[in-house]
Amino acid sequence: MTMNFPIKRKARVKTINKANLGMDLEGLINESNTYYLNNNIAVIHKKPTPVQIVKVDYPMRSKAVITEAYYKTPSTTDYNGIYKGKYIDFECKENHNKTSFPLANIHPHQISHLKNIIEHGGIGFLIVAWNVYNEYYVVPFEVINEYWENSLKDGRKSIPYEAFVKQGHLIKEGYLPRLNYLKVIDEIYF
């Protein structure tokens, strides 16, 4: 099977609902980050997708074409940056389930990365989209880590929806930006 992406592609449509106008979580977060950057609120960027480049062609008089490459497992989280002088670092995940968020969605090195960040005085968290409920939660790393550690001791391999409601922080959807997650960060960390 071959998939073609248009070069100037927009965020892929994954879920369609009135609130997010068909934009996926990554698209919404990127939109928020652009807003934060343009309004001098924070400097937060998505890291490029890590790719292992194997073969590159240099056609005459045109730019290099990568003709063989593979997706690599990311060694850190997708987003980091600076907000109010603090280092912040997070990962975004979409969840299509109704009752729980499987921990298998998170890579073990993302857990150890976020743990390191917290130890060095940074702010680390997850943003999880519950697509079924059209809800977005900020979950501090400490909460995730509790479930993670427990799962390693034969505990449950997922985080129940109730934990998001109780220990997570719902991002209220707005207008500009639609997903103002830093407002929630303010309430938790500042």
Residues forming contacts to its own copies in the complex (CB under 8 A) are 1-5, 7, 37, 40, 42-43, 45, 47-58, 63-72, 74-76, 80-87, 89, 113, 116-117, 119-122
C-beta of 36 vs 101, nearer to its own copies: 36
Residue type, 28: L
**Toward its own copies, which CB reaches closer, 83 or 137?**
83
Question: Which DSSP helix (H) or strand (E) runs through 93?
Answer: strand 86-95
Q: Is 52 exposed, middle or buried (0-12, 13-18, 19+ CB in 10 A)?
A: exposed
Rank residues 45 and 156 by Cβ distance to its own copies and give the closer one.
45
Nearer to its own copies, 40 or 99 (CB): 40
DSSP letter for 80, please. E
The separation between CA 34 and the C-alpha centre of its own chain, rounded to angstroms, equals 15
Residue 69 Cβ vs its own copies, minimum distance, rounded to whole Å = 4
- The values of phi and psi at residue 53, to 5°, are -90, 125
Closest separation in Å from C-beta 147 to its own copies = 23
Burial of 7 (0-12, 13-18, 19+ CB in 10 A): exposed
Nearest approach, Cβ of residue 9 and its own copies (Å): 9
- The CB-of-27 to its own copies minimum distance in angstroms stands at 16
